[in-house]
Copies of this chain bind each other. A is one copy, B any other.
Amino acid sequence: MKTRTTFDQTLSELKQEILRMGFHVEEAIYRAVESMAKQDVNMAQSVIDGDVLIDNLELEIEDLCMKLIATQQPMAKDLRRIAVGLKIITDLERMADYSCGIAKITKRLVGQPLIKPLIDIPRMAQLAQKMVKESLDAYVREDVGLAANLATDDKQVDSLHSQVFRELLVLMMENPKTINQATSLLFASRYLERIADHATNIGERVIYLVTGKREVLND
């Protein structure tokens, strides 16, 4: 019983650390898009500077997982809980990289008036943030319903991305002076779409953890 309690405590610590990493990733997504909408270079720079913190969290959590496996030698489902944790932090780290990508675009665009008001991109960011939070809640609570629900938001992000893409192409064709900036915005939109994909990945991993079934939530 003593070992089991220690294991449960360390597993709960692992989940807390993953939530903490997720919180920083949500912040990074929010600040990256906010800095773009407000053309705030300092805020963009803070996202870029903060990436090392998220990278370090990934390494720390990786070490915690390894320590947990080595000292507790968990079996079956406990082992899979840790394996899923290891995969989730890779998804989170990628999301942080995409946020940095957006922050770098903000820095490049600064001083240029925006060719269109940012409406859909902040909406995508909001959805992506919500998806990150919900995917991690689904992991911590092993909630299959919450995990499966991610597909709905992911489809909405996909459709916003297609819309942004079409609008920007039209803008570029109408006015070649917008090409440079429109291309950057295309990439920003794509990065948000990828962040939402990674949150959906986490949902798929949670479903597999709980049910043992591999499911593709939104192809």
Contact = CB atoms under 8 A, between A and B. Distances in A.
Interface of A: 59, 62, 65-66, 69-70, 73, 75-76, 79-80, 83, 86-87, 90, 94, 169, 172-173, 176, 179-180, 183, 186-187, 190, 214
A63 B83 CA distance: 10
14 contacts: A62-B83, A65-B83, A66-B79, A66-B80, A69-B69, A69-B79, A70-B79, A73-B73, A83-B86, A169-B179, A172-B183, A176-B176, A179-B179, A183-B186
**How many protomers of this protein does the assembly include?**
2
Contact of A87 (B73, B75, B79, B90): B90
A94 B187 CA distance: 18
Contact of A86 (B59, B73, B86): B86
A207 to B, nearest CB: 13
Most chain B CB within a 10 A radius of its CB, from A59, A90, A176, A179: A179
Given A69-B69, A169-B180, A172-B183, 13 more contacts: A62-B83, A66-B79, A70-B79, A87-B90, A90-B90, A94-B94, A169-B179, A169-B183, A172-B172, A172-B176, A172-B179, A179-B179, A183-B183
A76 B70 contact: yes
A186 B184 CA distance: 11
